[in-house]
Structure 1
């Protein structure tokens, strides 16, 4: 019995010693990684700032007729996501996406888009190789995407009216942020 008791006493002492060594090793590891600059782990944990800004400034809607979704529309206000690249002095820029089962030629003849009643000054297609295609939310392989440019506006609220004849139209509303002091 005395032999078994000595064995347990020695084992418990060794476990305490091993615990101290592990704790010391972990403490040193945390201190050393905290002193280093940006590494892969800290970069992976940071949120994607562009995606988050785009998500905040994106609106989505569906054109529904007879309880069936005929088109799904998304629009992102690029002036707020990339203010240096798309300034309000040059115009109001949107990344617009449409998912519909219409053929491309028929869609081109039947859609309309306005911003506060104004027609776009330019509509430029976005391909899968463009940076915006990768960075924007709500992008799928089934959609068609464009950068739609409207003339400069002083309005505090932007309302896109997007429609497809004969299915109807939807409105996507955006609030222009107030300048910070």
Structure 2
């Protein structure tokens, strides 16, 4: 008898859930496509000296995540995050395949990219760094952190638009 009630209750719950409207629960479960794309195009590297992490650098290729806003024709743009214990002038210490940046913009906690990008935390400094446009399919972003050394991140231009 108990199993009949359990089966009837389960069947009723399934039927009624199919008739419900979209609500907060189903919206939470849906994929966050921007975050997913950003994860695919994000690279991270650390500088470790004497078994201690001295710096962590993350970079997201914005041209692949937001192709309309960050067009390759206007340049190659990255969302760069740096966590280190020393002050750093990123505009003088970052290069993309030997090219200096054409612009470096500091990103605050209220900026839309700060909220959307993966791996962001309050101890980091975040920037939008734009380099001159290049035709290469792959490129290397290099950040020199004195006195610890360089951090390199390799990126590849997507052949498919998602």
TM-score (norm 1): 0.80
Does residue 114 (structure 1) correspond to residue 95 (structure 2)? The answer is yes
Alpha carbons 1:110, 1:165 under 8 Å: kept: no
Choose which of 86, 96, 108 in structure 2 pairs with 1:127.
Answer: 108
In structure 2, the residue matched to 1:139 is 120
Deviations 1:100-149 (CA, angstroms, capped at 9, x unpaired): 1113xxx2289511111111100000001111111111111110000001
In structure 2, the residue matched to 1:7 is none
In structure 2, the residue matched to 1:170 is 151
For residues 140-155 of structure 1, the aligned pairs below 5 Å read 140-155=121-136
Aligned residues: 161
Misfit runs of 4+, over 6 Å: none
In structure 2, the residue matched to 1:60 is 44
SS at match of 1:75: strand
Q: Shift in Å at residue 20 of structure 1? A: 3.3
Alpha carbons 2:145, 2:151 under 8 Å: kept: no
Q: Which has the higher helix share?
A: 1
Alpha carbons 1:93, 1:149 under 8 Å: kept: yes
TM-score (norm 2): 0.88
In structure 2, stretches of 5+ residues that fail to align are none
SS at match of 1:155: coil
With 56-65 and 127-136 compared, the bigger mean Cα shift is at 56-65
